[in-house]
Every structure is written in structure tokens, then in C-alpha cells.
């Protein structure tokens, strides 16, 4: 199981960031869960550069540019220099700021070109009775991954994050039966995009109000390979409990 801790802007000071890293390091000694921390960029730089533990680091976003005269942009290459190996791309909170599937596809390509493992976020705004949300997910996956080469597509991790479930509480999260159905559907769509039977090996995460009280149930029979966790990953006590539930 892979847990990606998306700290968003919940963590803003080094003291708290260090505490969360210390808790994560200890957890890697007692749990088989792979932990990826995704702090805000300056904190990632401060924590990851000297990291020798099993904890990995991820960017919350990467620039669509490759460098040069781009004030304020943080490129994939600079994230790698800071010690990041993963990159969250296309998060709904970035899409809400105007990020399109075309931009997301460029970001995936940049991350891959610098050896990062991109985590492509997809998710519908709402669930309708006619299953239109399924075509929405298909469109997000194909538009972002279509421009990549088959070799690149194989390396993309998918995070299914329905927007209606993000930033709420465990009772608002998806039910494990619905998640199982969606994981199968995503694997089917990915299967059409990947060569041979390689879609079987694609890592699929779920995100959206994952908390200690629902993580085990969601992991159970849904077929997910892990979780992208927001608010519950930004509190050391809650995060410890979350990982322990999976161990």
C-alpha cells in the first residue's frame, strides 16, 4: 500500500513539518506502508534534501514549463534537485484555478522526462443516475494520457478523487462497493491506453475524506493500491493512526 500525504497548505511551518516527517520515519519501521510526503515546495526543499529514510517526497504540482524566464514557476527539474520523486498533477484544486487537460498532459510529460513518478488526479464533480460520471473520468484519463508515449503512460499513477468527497469527513467519502466499481472501470480505460496487459500493474489510489475510521474499509475489497490523503495527513496523531489502520 502507498499513502501519499498531500499537506496542501495545511502545513506552513518547519516545526510541524519536521514533526510529521519524524512520525512518518517511525512508521516506516513498524509498517510496510510506503509513505510519500507532499509538502508545500519550500518545506519539501527543507525536509527532503537531507532525507535518508524510507519516506519519499512528492511535489503538489509541477510547472508546465522547463525553466528560463518564468518567475514563480517551480519546474520538475528543481523538484528533483530538492529530493522529490513523485509529483501530484491535475489535482482538482489546481483544475479549479483553470488548469486544463492539455496543461496537465504537458506537466505529466515534464515530470516523466525528469524521472519523477506522476500521480494523475481525476474525479467527477457529482454522481448522476445515468453514469455520465464514468464518461467524465474516461475523458480526463484519455485527454491527459493520450499525448504520452505508451512507455510514459505505463509509469503514471492514477489518483481517483471524486470532488464531492474531498475535504469532508469519513461519512461523506465513497463507499467501498462504489470504489471497487470505479477501480475496475479505471483499469479498463487504462487498459485501452497501455500496451498489452500492463494496466494490471498500474497503481490506483483513492482520495477524498480518507480518515482513520474509513481507511481500512476502503482498502479492504476495493482493489485500490493506496490513498491520497489531505486533511488527515496534516495532523501527526491522526496520520499515525491512519497508517496503523493499514498495517
Q: Scanning residues 66 to 125, which ones bind ligand PGA (CB under 6 A)?
A: none
Q: Which residue, 77 or 209, has its beta carbon nearer to ligand PGA?
A: 209
Q: How far is the CB of 40 from ligand PGA (least distance, A)?
A: 14
Per DSSP, 207 falls in state E
Q: How far is the CB of 122 from ligand PGA (least distance, A)?
A: 12
83 near 116, Cβ under 8 Å?
A: no
Q: Catalytic: which of 91, 110, 114, 231?
A: 91
**Neighbouring residues of 178: CB distance < 8 A, sequence distance ≥ 6:** none
| Residue placing its CB nearer to ligand PGA in the complex, 77 or 79 | 79
With CB under 6 A, what is the number of residues at the site for ligand PGA? 13
| Strands of the chain, DSSP E | 2-6, 34-38, 56-59, 86-89, 117-122, 157-160, 204-207, 226-229
Q: How far apart are CA 109 and CA 17, in angstroms?
A: 29
Using CB under 6 A, which residues numbered 205 to 234 contact ligand PGA?
A: 207-210, 228-232
Active site residue 106: no
User: What is the torsional sign of CA 117, 34, 3, 239?
Assistant: negative
Three-class secondary structure of residue 140 per DSSP: helix
- For the bound state, the minimum distance from the C-beta of residue 38 to ligand PGA, rounded and expressed in Å, comes to 9
Q: Looking at 93, 99, 140, 161, which residue is catalytic? A: 161
Cα three-residue angle 224-215-218, rounded to 5 degrees? 45
Smaller CB separation from ligand PGA, 207 or 226 = 207
CA 94/CA 103 separation, integer angstroms: 11
Note whether 200 and 243 are within 8 A (CB). no
How near is the Cβ of 229 to ligand PGA at its closest, in Å? 5
Contacts of residue 194, Cβ cutoff 8 Å, sequence gap at least 6:
150, 153, 154, 202
Tell me, yes or no, if 161 is annotated catalytic: yes
We find the least distance from the C-beta atom of residue 97 to ligand PGA, in angstroms, to be 14
Residue nearest to ligand PGA (CB): 230
Q: Which of 2, 3, 5, 6 binds ligand PGA (CB under 6 A)?
A: 6
Looking at the Cβ atoms of 45 and 162, the one nearer to ligand PGA is 162
**Closer residue to ligand PGA (CB): 75 or 209:** 209
* 161 lies in the site for ligand PGA, by CB under 6 A: yes
The dihedral through the CA atoms of 226, 232, 236, 238 has a sign that is: negative
**Annotated active-site positions, please?**
91, 161
- Judged by the rule CB under 6 A, the positions of this chain that interact with ligand PGA are 6, 161, 166-167, 207-210, 228-232
Amino acid at each position: 500500500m502507498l499513502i501519499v500525504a498531500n499537506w496542501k497548505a495545511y502545513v506552513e511551518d518547519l516545526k510541524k513539518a519536521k514533526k510529521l516527517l519524524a512520525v512518518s520515519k517511525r512508521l516506516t519501521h513498524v509498517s510496510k506502508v510506503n509513505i510519500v510526503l507532499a509538502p508545500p515546495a519550500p518545506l519539501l526543499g527543507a525536509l527532503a534534501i537531507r532525507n535518508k529514510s524510507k519516506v519519499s517526497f512528492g511535489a503538489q504540482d509541477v510547472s508546465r514549463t522547463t525553466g528560463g524566464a518564468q518567475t514563480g514557476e517551480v519546474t520538475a527539474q528543481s523538484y528533483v534537485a530538492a529530493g522529490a520523486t513523485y509529483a501530484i498533477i491535475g489535482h482538482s484544486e489546481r483544475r479549479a484555478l483553470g488548469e486544463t487537460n492539455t496543461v496537465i498532459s504537458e506537466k505529466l510529460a515534464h515530470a516523466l522526462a525528469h524521472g519523477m513518478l506522476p500521480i494523475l488526479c481525476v474525479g467527477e464533480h457529482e454522481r448522476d443516475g445515468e453514469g455520465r460520471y464514468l464518461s467524465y473520468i474516461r475523458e480526463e484519463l484519455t485527454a491527459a494520457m493520450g499525448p504520452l508515449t505508451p512507455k510514459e503512460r505505463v509509469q503514471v499513477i492514477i489518483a481517483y478523487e471524486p470532488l464531492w468527497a474531498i475535504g469532508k469527513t469519513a461519512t461523506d467519502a465513497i463507499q467501498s462497493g462504489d470504489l471497487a466499481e470505479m477501480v475496475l472501470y479505471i483499469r479498463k480505460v487504462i487498459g485501452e491506453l497501455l500496451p498489452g496487459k500492463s494496466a494490471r500493474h498500474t497503481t490506483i489510489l483513492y482520495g477524498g475524506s480518507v480518515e482513520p475510521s474509513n481507511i481500512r474499509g476502503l482498502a479492504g475489497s476495493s482493489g485500490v493500491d493506496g490513498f491520497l490523503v489531505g486533511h488527515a495527513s496534516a495532523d501527526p496523531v491522526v496520520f499515525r493512526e491512519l497508517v496503523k489502520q493499514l498495517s
